[in-house]
Structure 1
Amino acid sequence: MDIQQGILRSVSDTSPAHYQVRIQSFSLLTKNAIERYESAEFEAGGYKWKLVLYPSGNKSKNVKDHISLYLVLQETTSFPFCWEIYVKIRFSLLDQNKDNYLVVEDGLGMERKFYKRKVEWGYDELIPLKTFSDASNGYLVNDSCEFGAEVYVSRERIRDKGESLIMIRDAIPYKHTWHIDSYSKMTEECYDSQPFIVGNHKWKIQVYPRGRETGFPPYLSLYVALVEPTTLNPSSKIYTQIVLRILDQKQSKHQIGKANFWFSASSHQHGASKFLLLSTFINQYFGFLIKDNCYVEAEVTILGVVDALT
């Protein structure tokens, strides 16, 4: 038994429990430009795996003069969005002279974690090519060799839900102005502006000419809303700064309301039911309604977005 750099090398008389790869004419792999050999799938611990062998070293990691060997988890696209599998791995190499196996594993008995961004684990430098190729060591005899693996899943962690919040630096506001003429002829409860796009979503201004809520004195009600809220994922949210204005066409003393709000599929409208007294709005002394025309404005700034974690 030998532990070097956290790697335990030992000898076992037992063949590997889960998979073996026997290679004849090993030297022809490199000669025929096979830099990477991938085994068939095998099952261990309820999961599917492959062995990946680099007969002259993993060049993508600048490995030279060694054999590289890895275990790769398969079919992960069917897993829940957030998963972790903890595995103990033992690689083996047949010593044909002594009829036993060189076993290579973590010297501290550590579990190796497989997850979405890491589905491969192994050794860049499993064994020096010089040691491997020396027939007296028994690993390569008559140009034939045999590698193996044992894979023991010790624990699993699977989470079905999660979210990602992205706050936006230097967010840029978008301003939409709606010219309403013939205000006195607006007899419906609510009117919508033409849609405008901010942050890949369609928005609209909503005006309630006689107020959204009954009561005295009456008010004009003003809102911003998502046009297609049902297209949002139930876990998605949009953190937005909203500025609503009714423009004063005489003295530029605009009526302004400002707020930050989380928009979502279930909460897709925000504004004020008592935005401006109706008597003030229609009073000709002020400049909000001139010749039965007015200007309503919405300024939308997206400050952050929450989406489902994938």
Structure 2
Amino acid sequence: SFQLRSAPETKPEEESRGRPAGAMGNTGSTSPASLGKAHVPHLQWKVHDFSALLETGAKSAKSAHFHCSGYKWFLKVTPPMHQKPGAETPYVGLSLKLGRTTLKPGDTVNAVFELSVYNHAKKIYYGRKATHNFDLNNTCSKDECLIPLQKLLKSSAFLVDDSCVFGVKILKIKVCSPEKKAVMVLKKATTLQNLFIQKKGLIKGTYTWTMDNYHELDLKRYVCSPTFEVGGHKW
């Protein structure tokens, strides 16, 4: 298994209409409670060819980072996850990750956030709240069971042209730090990102890099090859 990362570009039946997403426990919960109407997110992440993500066998996929209140954040989706070991119903899980490079030793970032999925038919987000204490040893929240996987795959509201849109909004941040700094969540435009999944078997071939003056590599920290293109992307 492997992880996929995207590059930045820019109801269910039990949903509660018009009700704010319900708050969860201090460190998040995997309990698949009903979804509520959610806010417009800080990050809108569109996953194209969602079925191909399942075919790759990847355990999860992670967005590129987005900025909020001086920190770098990532949204992670876990397509087939279970509420507990041995459970039969697979869910689509979402979690929030805080970039380690923006954390200082000794800091604890308590965040209240909202994980959501976009309903194309109603043109609104549905999701739920969660909280998590982030620090250098704990940079990722627990996975939230957002929606049953089969319900998503059969839905014409959440899955359109084999693509679905996930979102996350940071609602509140409290930092416990020796510096005792206050952090505010300011209003900002939504960051738009896309993840394109390459189906198995469509990319074939080998790139060969012939290196001259190999003995000179000891004088440099690293050396980059010439750019080459695979799958419509440059590497």
**Residue of structure 1 equivalent to 2:62:** 38
Pair 1:147 & 2:166 matched: yes
User: Which structure 2 residue ranges, 5 or more long, are not aligned?
Assistant: 1-15, 25-30, 180-235
Query: Number of aligned pairs?
Result: 152
Which of 15, 19, 24 in structure 1 is aligned with 2:40? 15
**Residue of structure 1 equivalent to 2:176:** 157
**Contact 2:118 2:166 survives alignment (8 Å):** yes
**Residue of structure 2 equivalent to 1:234:** none
Q: Displacement, 1:114?
A: 1.1
Structure with bigger gyration radius? 1
More strand, by proportion? 1
Which whole-Å deviations, capped at 9, do the CAs of 1:8-58 have from their partners, x for residues lacking one?
Answer: 72124x531x11110121100111222211110111121001111111227
Read off the aligned partner of 1:126 and give its amino acid letter: L
Q: Displacement, 1:81?
A: 2.4
**Contact 1:44 1:152 survives alignment (8 Å):** no
Q: Displacement, 1:92?
A: 1.4
**In structure 2, how many angstroms separate the alpha carbons of the residues matched to 1:62 and 1:83?**
36
Pair 1:133 & 2:153 matched: yes
1:82 aligns to what SS in structure 2? coil
Q: Displacement, 1:150?
A: 0.5
Pair 1:92 & 2:111 matched: no
**In structure 1, how many angstroms separate the alpha carbons of the residues matched to 2:57 and 2:32?**
32
Which of 57, 60, 80 in structure 2 is aligned with 1:56? 80
Higher RCO (CA-CA < 8 Å; seq separation 6+): 2
**Residue of structure 1 equivalent to 2:186:** none
Q: Residues 138-217 of structure 1 correspond to what in structure 2 (within 5 A)?
A: 138-159=157-178
Read off the aligned partner of 1:96 and give its amino acid letter: H
Report sequence identity in percent. Answer: 23
Read off the aligned partner of 2:166 and give its amino acid letter: F
Q: Displacement, 1:131?
A: 2.1
**Residue of structure 1 equivalent to 2:216:** none
**CA spacing shift, 1:159–1:97, aligned 2, 3 Å:** same
> TM-score with structure 2 length normalisation?
0.56
Which whole-Å deviations, capped at 9, do the CAs of 1:186-232 have from their partners, x for residues lacking one?
Answer: xxxxxxxxxxxxxxxxxxxxxxxxxxxxxxxxxxxxxxxxxxxxxxx
Which of 62, 79, 91 in structure 2 is aligned with 1:66? 91
**In structure 2, how many angstroms separate the alpha carbons of the residues matched to 1:24 and 1:119?**
26
**In structure 2, how many angstroms separate the alpha carbons of the residues matched to 1:146 and 1:61?**
27
**Residue of structure 2 equivalent to 1:307:** none
Which of 137, 144, 149 in structure 2 is aligned with 1:117? 137
**Contact 2:100 2:136 survives alignment (8 Å):** no
**CA spacing shift, 1:139–1:33, aligned 2, 3 Å:** same
Q: Displacement, 1:127?
A: 1.4
> TM-score with structure 1 length normalisation?
0.43
